Amino acid sequence: MSEKKRTLMTSTQKAKVALEAVKGSKTVNEIAQDYSVHPTQVGLWKKALLENASQLFDVKRGPKAIDPQSDPERLYAKIGQLNMELEWLKKKFRDQPLSLRQGWINSSAGLSVAAQCRLAGIARSTVYTDKHEVDEVELMLLRLLDEEYTRHPFYGSRKMTVWLRMQGHAVNRKRVQRLMRILGLIAMVPGPNTSKKHPEHTVYPYLLRGLSVIRPNQVWSTDITYIRLAHGFVYLVAIMDWYSHKILAWRVSNTMDVGFCVDCLTAALKQYGAPEIFNTDQGSQFTSDKWVAVLQENSIKISMDGRGRALDNIFVERLWRSVKYEDIYPKNYVYMPELLLGLTEYFAFYNGERYHQALGYKTPDQIYQTAEGGGAMIVDKFNERTDKETTGGLHVDKA
């Protein structure tokens, strides 16, 4: 079998790819196809650009180079430190998924491909495959999972696997679990380990149990969902006021990083002020230092769903269902610019024109502005039962 020619990327070309990703007008898969690189590499270069861009404006260029003739002991100590750091990084990297480690291999780098494979802990033979084409089967499965989860958010990976097999798709549970992680999907039922946090991030207590939400800006919450496009997918984050169900801010990104979440939060705070409590799940974006710092700077109490409390974000889950069935699925957006325009129009409609049964057939804008007719009561779904309208422990107070 002949080996396909690999694309050699210069530093300038990598920077161009990263800038294209930061601009956000295309999906990662579209950019990968345009430049004949792996989609994973696009995300890594975007992350590297965002993390290192500030150094361009730093007057200090870092410590002076060590002169081995003048300070040999310092040089030997530095070599020992670098060796320890290298061993630590190798252990951490080898814990990453195989597909991610394969995406790191670059034939234009200073190291040989064989050396890169050895450091990444993968077989050299696994990198000589064609990774440039978008996996249409993968995108199709992601689309099906997204649609089925929107219809049945209580489905976990087992039921999703059975459902896909019944549709004629030969998948195993591990593949379905991986795809659901890409989409950020968890089943909305009590169960162990449903919230995936970063292992080094602090998790804050859950503050909403038994709380009556009786005014605007008392409790805000947020979540991230997946949106399919014709040639890839993007992520949407939105911030909601629990009392009025008003969408205070939203952002779209071609990668699921903390940056677009912080940008969304900053926009909401600038326009509407600070809430008393901000509730999220334990996702790594919402336990990150950057996200938490913004909340703490504004004296906002931080609340996080515990394991098995996915339903505590039911209002945002209902929002995703509305967005997808009323806008995303019918319009079937192809490119990012038209998606952004469509979402701008939809959220204006959702806040200002769409009447909500739970709000007494008023709009979120009306409830937020008058501070009348909204609200919610959070009960303990494991211990309480009620004759009122309930959804797994949350019931909407239709005052």
pLDDT in tens, 14-26: 888 888 888 777 8
Amino acid at 318: R
- At residue 347, the pLDDT reads 95
Residue 52 has pLDDT above 50, yes or no: yes
Cα(122)–Cα(125) distance, rounded to whole angstroms? 9
**What percent of the chain is predicted at pLDDT more than 90?**
25
Confidence of residue 72 (pLDDT cuts 50, 70, 90): low
Of 69-73, 121-125, 220-224, 307-311, the least confident: 307-311
Of 92-106, 141-155, 208-222, the least confident: 92-106
Other CB atoms within 10 A of residue 269 CB: 21
- At residue 390, the pLDDT reads 34
Residue 271 has pLDDT above 90, yes or no: yes
- At residue 284, the pLDDT reads 83
**What percent of the chain is predicted at pLDDT more than 70?**
71
Residue 301 has pLDDT above 70, yes or no: yes
What mean pLDDT value characterizes the chain? 77
**Both tokens of residue 63?**
């410590």
pLDDT, average across residues 219-243: 90
Residue 197 has pLDDT above 60, yes or no: no
Residue with tokens 């089943």, as numbered in its chain = 187
Residues contacting residue 8 through CB under 8 Å, at least 6 positions apart = 107, 108
Residues contacting residue 256 through CB under 8 Å, at least 6 positions apart = 184, 224, 235, 285
To the question of pTM greater than 0.85 for the whole model, the response is: no
173-194 pLDDT per residue, tens: 998 888 888 776 665 444 333 3
Cα(304)–Cα(282) distance, rounded to whole angstroms? 6
Query: Is the distance from CB of 32 to CB of 39 less than 8 angstroms?
Result: yes
